[in-house]
């Protein structure tokens, strides 16, 4: 009798059960992994697919028409990986910048006391957030290819910007020797601004005298490099695109793929950012604004010192999340053939080499790292913005 009880209580013991469940889970996972990997190896051998990362140093053999770094078909597959990675980052950064600007404008417009503006912003949000991003990318790409003229009939803006089926051609700034000094002056200007601001803030804290710093800031950040630039005799010129034969030469080209992709990504992500900003501003208690007004702060001061700091605390975390979503969505370039990571490496190289496990593994790892970086950023921001207890 007694013995039975100990067995039953042993079986009913929470800790025993916990350990048993975990061991069973581990066994199941191990079994699934083992049999999966076993089949994988058998299948790979049966199909005579190569394994390992030797393919990375093989000749790629295909051309990529858009690359930030030098690339020819003679380069290796690893080079394609870098080209794709850089293009992904370029699309992500450009998309994020424009999405933030549009999102900010639409978010604030949504709360405007102007009925028309507010409704238009609302319409924009409801329209673009309810159309899948892939449709938007394909739609704009298709529209661009259909409506834009051939290179000979390009839209011409002041003989320097040309728009046609093959993309947008803009003058490219080409730096001459000595331009580095301008950059150094620019960095120096930013550093000096930080010190200058710190100085005036200290003065404000000690004496209560407020100094407007905006003029000094502009002078240091923009004026200083400009003076250096002029003193050195303008060490930079613009390389203008010009029509030679059937196509344009010189200048900087943005392909229709790139434009359709960044445009759609910014327009789509902006709707989410706008909603984040709107809810951030709405989350600030009305009493806060009233209190600021009661203290005698002007409208601008109230916005800058009271409303925005509190609104941003609510708005920034979802916005950063949207940055991550935008970066992940940039992989949809596969559908229109813009050579970012997923299209160039996860698509073309995969088709040529056929080592899906390695190639997709590397591609996923990149997105994993990007996502971890953004999570890290989010944690830092959250920590900085959390309400500091006294």
Q: Can you tell me which of 61, 73, 132, 153 binds other proteins, judged by CB under 8 A? A: 132
For the CB of residue 217, give the shortest distance to other proteins in the complex, in Å.
25
91 touches other proteins (CB under 8 A)? no
243 interacts with other proteins by CB under 8 A: no
Site for other proteins in 313-372 (CB under 8 A): 328-329, 331-332, 334-335, 342, 346, 350, 356-357, 360, 363-364, 367-368, 371-372
Q: Whole-number minimum distance, CB 374 to other proteins, in Å?
A: 9
Q: Which is nearer to other proteins, 117 or 188 (CB)?
A: 117
How near is the Cβ of 254 to other proteins at its closest, in Å? 22
Closest approach of other proteins to the CB of residue 344, in Å: 14
Closest listed residue to residue 168, CA positions, set 92, 259, 250, 242: 259
Q: Is 89 in the site for other proteins (CB under 8 A)?
A: no
22 contacts other proteins (rule: CB under 8 A): yes
Q: Which of 90, 93, 105, 134 binds other proteins (CB under 8 A)?
A: 134
Which residue lies nearer to other proteins by CB, 43 or 211?
43
State yes or no: residue 131 binds other proteins (CB under 8 A): yes
Write out the residues near other proteins by the rule CB under 8 A. 18, 21-22, 25-26, 29, 36, 39-40, 42-44, 112-117, 120, 126-127, 129-135, 138-139, 142-143, 146, 328-329, 331-332, 334-335, 342, 346, 350, 356-357, 360, 363-364, 367-368, 371-372
């Amino acid at each position: 009798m007694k013995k039975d009880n100990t067995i039953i209580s042993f079986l009913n013991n929470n800790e025993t059960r916990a350990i048993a469940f975990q061991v069973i889970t581990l066994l199941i996972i191990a079994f699934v992994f083992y049999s999966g990997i076993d089949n994988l190896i058998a299948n790979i051998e049966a199909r005579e697919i190569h394994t390992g990362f030797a393919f990375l140093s093989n000749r790629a053999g295909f051309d990529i028409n858009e690359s930030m770094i030098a690339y020819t078909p003679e380069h290796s597959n690893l080079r394609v990986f870098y080209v794709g990675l850089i293009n992904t980052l370029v699309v992500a950064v450009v998309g994020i910048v424009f999405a933030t600007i549009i999102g900010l404008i639409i978010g604030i417009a949504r709360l405007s006391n102007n009925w028309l503006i507010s409704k238009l912003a609302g319409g924009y949000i409801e329209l673009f957030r309810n159309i899948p991003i892939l449709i938007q990318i394909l739609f704009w790409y298709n529209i661009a290819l259909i409506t834009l003229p051939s290179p000979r009939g390009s839209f011409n803006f002041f003989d320097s910007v040309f728009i046609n089926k093959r993309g947008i051609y803009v003058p490219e700034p080409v730096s001459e020797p000595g331009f580095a000094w301008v950059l150094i002056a620019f960095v120096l200007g930013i550093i000096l601004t930080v010190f200058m601001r710190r100085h005036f803030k200290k003065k404000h804290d000690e004496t209560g005298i407020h100094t407007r710093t905006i003029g000094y800031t502009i002078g240091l950040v923009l004026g200083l490099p400009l003076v250096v630039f002029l003193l050195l005799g303008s060490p930079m010129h613009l390389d203008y695109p010009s029509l030679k034969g059937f196509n344009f030469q010189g200048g900087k080209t943005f392909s229709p793929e790139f434009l359709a992709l960044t445009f759609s990504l910014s327009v789509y992500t902006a709707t989410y950012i706008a909603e984040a900003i709107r809810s951030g501003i709405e989350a600030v208690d009305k009493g806060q604004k009233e209190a600021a007004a009661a203290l005698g702060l002007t409208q601008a001061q109230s916005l800058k010192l009271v409303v925005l700091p509190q609104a941003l605390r609510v708005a920034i975390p979802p916005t950063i999340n949207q940055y991550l979503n935008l970066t992940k969505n940039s992989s949809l370039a596969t559908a229109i053939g813009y050579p970012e990571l997923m299209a160039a490496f996860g698509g073309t190289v995969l088709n040529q080499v056929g080592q899906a496990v390695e190639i997709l593994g590397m591609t996923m790892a990149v997105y994993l790292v990007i996502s971890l970086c953004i999570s890290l950023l989010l944690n830092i921001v959250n920590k900085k913005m959390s309400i500091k207890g006294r």
